[in-house]
Amino acid sequence: MQYQVFISLLVKRFNGDITAEELAHLNEWLEADQEHRQIATSYQSIWDNAQDLSPREELNPDVDAAFDKVMLQIETTARKPKTVFGFAYGQLARMAAAIAFLLCAVWGYNNWKTPEVATATVSAEQLDKKEVTLPDGTKVWLRKGSQITYPQIFDKDLRCVTLDGEAYFEVTFDKQRHFCVITKSGERLEVLGTSFNVKQTEKGTSLLVKTGKVRFDLDGSKNGQVVAAGKNAFHEKSSNDISVSPAPSFNEMAWQSGYLEFINVPLKQVIADFESYFNIKIQLENQQLLQCEYTSPKVSNDIKQALASFCDTYHLQLINPAPNQYLLKGGTCL
């Protein structure tokens, strides 16, 4: 058993996969005995010759026949003087078993070592948004300046991508494999199948869930907050906490949908969404209207038409004192 451990370490060293701690352990074993160094030299030769094997070549060894052959050689050796070329009978037996073990290890590395999976990186660059379809059918919309990296073939247990910037996801449901988004700052969002928006800024990372549920973790421990549909979560970079609150609207995603939508949204939020989406400033004279609710499933992308419809609903007078500045006077709640 001890020999098998060090043979495994030799195989790892030959293949370049050995850790510093393992290498130190192996070197200590090699320095302990001249026999160990001779064995390592022999195995190096075996390894070098074995590299000519095709990685896809099927190996169907006749183990029983090979064992009988080795035992016959050992019995023949046993009838001779107890040492052969400086090695005792017991040493030959261990070496025979070790060589067989090494050959199996060589074949195993060639056939079962996990291949490196190619990745793809897509950037929205200067486009307002860019749509990407992932290998599992998941749809991703990248906002201007954002970037996503993903494997061209997803793992059989988990589908993970890395995001830098802001993106809206419509995840294809797969009950066997969760989907996860890893942010630039290391946060992790994991789902089965849902739609949500992830936004990274200098202050932190925000998550807005439109459908389904998303688990928001800071350290990959899977003990983070579970954020349901209609909820907004935010992690400030300087904090270890995730705050979750009801989302007043889904208009943080308007860059992806291409329009504003309001379903019983307080006017305070309506005005904030108008200002953000159209890049304008609005002053509401009658502050008592701020708690009134507004419904418009699809707002016009023409700012004048959008504000005209809004003002008609609440009997507001619309004044445009300067470019991109609007004053709303009067008005009543319905």
- Full set of structural domains in the chain with CATH: 2-112 (no CATH), 119-251 (2.60.120.1440), 259-330 (3.55.50.30)
How far apart are alpha carbons 142 and 164 in whole angstroms?
Answer: 10
pTM: predicted TM-score of the whole model, two decimal places: 0.63
The DSSP letter of residue 311 is: H
How far apart are alpha carbons 229 and 62 in whole angstroms?
Answer: 59
3-state helix, strand, coil in the chain (%, to 5): 35, 30, 30
| Contact present, 192 and 175 (Cβ < 8 Å) | yes
pLDDT digits (tens, 9 = 90+) for 168-212: 999 999 988 999 999 998 999 999 889 999 999 999 999 999 999
| Contact present, 209 and 228 (Cβ < 8 Å) | yes
How far apart are alpha carbons 105 and 108 in whole angstroms?
Answer: 5
- Let me know how long the chain is: 334
Residue 259 in this model has a pLDDT that exceeds 90: yes
Query: What pLDDT sits at residue 282?
Result: 96
Which amino acid, one-letter code, is at 185?
S
Best CA proximity match to 281, nearest among 270, 289, 272, 291: 272
Q: What is the mean pLDDT of residues 319-328?
A: 94
HSE, CB side, 13 Å, CA atoms: give it for residue 171. Answer: 29
How far apart are alpha carbons 205 and 222 in whole angstroms?
Answer: 17
How many C-beta atoms surround the C-beta of residue 116 within 10 A? 7
pLDDT digits (tens, 9 = 90+) for 199-247: 999 999 999 999 999 999 987 666 789 999 999 999 998 888 999 999 9
